[in-house]
Amino acid sequence: MSDATLPKMQARPAATAPRFRSATEESPAARGALIAIATGGLALLVGAPLAAVFAEALMQGWGAAVASLASRDAQSAIRLTLLITAIAVPLNAVFGIAAAWFITKFDFRGKAFLITLIDLPFSISPVVAGLCIVLLFGANSALGGWLVASGHPIVFAVPGIVLATVFVTFPFVARELIPVMIEQGRAEEEAALTLGATGWRVFRTVTLPNIRWALLYGTLLCTARAMGEFGAVAVVSGKIRGQTATMPITIEMFYNEYLSVAAFSMAALLTGFALLTLLLKTALELRHADALSATRRH
């Protein structure tokens, strides 16, 4: 091996070790540039719209914003959205728990296919989801015609909105619970059974405490999406003012009627809820990381 290839180095006093760069780091300039791209891009794409919502809502001051939320249409929209959420989220929580229990506590053929089916609503356009519900229950179908005739319409009524909301939020709880329950295995439940506990008791005293944070996490994401769903609800609700107009639908109505403060005030209300969701979500990730599915821990 020739030593001529050795780069010449100046002899340097042993005490003054220079600041070396680790082999697994980028240069400070590259680092700075990447951080600038990331924060700058996010500020422009996410931060600016966020600020715009509140700025537009408060364009004519707090009074106007609050007053716009007190209007009859706004109040009925808020009540309807709360109602829909209060029905759809528990339905999905029950479904999520049942599906996760079925999938993780039993061995059966076609499990992978079942999981794909549960995930399916995530890959379908909300508008197509709404369309499917209209085609099934709308007045044009045999089933829908009969429902309307018997005085229980689904489409253009609250049940349709609930159904659409459940559809678009379908996988949220299940997909948070399944990885956690797979990780935890079945041994604890089996131990409880051998000690004489009944099925319900096992679930309440053994399973539920283990999955409660993941359940809360999934429910949180489900709630945020349920309150904000637009495309599917726009299709099935018929947008009847005071009856089937949820908060997002009412935002669109106000916006199209050039009631900018009213539209953005309601948007600010939903944004406030979204921020609260993020806050709780981050808190869960920080404090209960080991109780959440692995991809949620960062």
Partner 1 sequence: MHIQIDEIAKEFGTTTALHPVSLSIPSGALVALLGPSGSGKTTLLRILGGLEFPTSGRVLFNSQDATGLSVQERRAGFVFQSYALFRHMTVFDNIAYGLNARPRASRPNKAEIDRRVLKLLDLIQLPQIAARYPTQLSGGQRQRVALARALAIEPRMLLLDEPFGALDAKVRKELRQGLRDIHDETGLTSIFVTHDQDEAMELADLVVVMSMGRIEQIGKPADIRARPATEFVREFIGA
Partner 2 sequence: MSRAPLIQRTAMPGLGLSAGITFFMLTLVVALPIGALLWQGANFGLSNIWATINRDRVWAALWLSFRLSFLAACFNLVFGVILAWVLVRYRFPGRRIIDAAVDLPFALPTAVAGIALTALYAPNGVLGGLTDQIGWQIAYTRWGIFLALVFVGLPFVTRTVQPVIEEIETEVEEASATLGASRSHTLRHVIAPMLMPAALTGFALSLARAVGEYGSVIFIAGNIPLRTEIAPLLIVIQLEEYNYDAAGAIGLAMLAISFTMLLFINLIQIWSRKRIGHV
Q: Which of residues 100-139 bind partner 2 (CB under 8 A)?
A: 101-102, 105-109, 114, 116-118, 120-129, 131-136, 138
Look at the block and give the residue holding tokens 């669109």.
252
Part of the chain binding partner 1 (CB under 8 A), chosen from 1-9, 76-84, 124-132, 234-242: 1-9
- What's the residue count for the chain? 298
**Smallest separation (angstroms) from partner 2 to the CB of 15:** 27
**Smallest separation (angstroms) from partner 1 to the CB of 2:** 9
The CA–CA distances, whole Å, from 242 to 143, 233, 261 equal 26, 15, 19
**Smallest separation (angstroms) from partner 1 to the CB of 298:** 23
279: contact with partner 2 by CB under 8 A:
yes
112: contact with partner 1 by CB under 8 A:
no
**Smallest separation (angstroms) from partner 1 to the CB of 6:** 6
Instruction: Name the residue among 80, 52, 44, 82 with its Cα closest to residue 263.
Output: 52
Q: Which tokens in the block code for residue 165?
A: 């909301």
- Give, as ranges, the residues between 59 and 98 that touch partner 2 (CB under 8 A): 91, 94-95, 98
CA pair distance 224, 61, nearest whole angstrom: 27
State the SS3 of 251-278: HHHHHHCCCHHHHHHHHHHHHHHHHHHH
Q: Which tokens in the block code for residue 108?
A: 């059966």
C-beta of residue 105 within 8 angstroms of C-beta of residue 210: no
Q: Which tokens in the block code for residue 32?
A: 């700075």
- Give, as ranges, the residues between 22 and 41 that touch partner 1 (CB under 8 A): 22-23
222: contact with partner 2 by CB under 8 A:
no
Part of the chain binding partner 2 (CB under 8 A), chosen from 9-17, 176-184, 210-218, 273-281: 273-281
Binding site for partner 1 (CB under 8 A): 1, 3, 5-12, 14-15, 17-18, 20-23
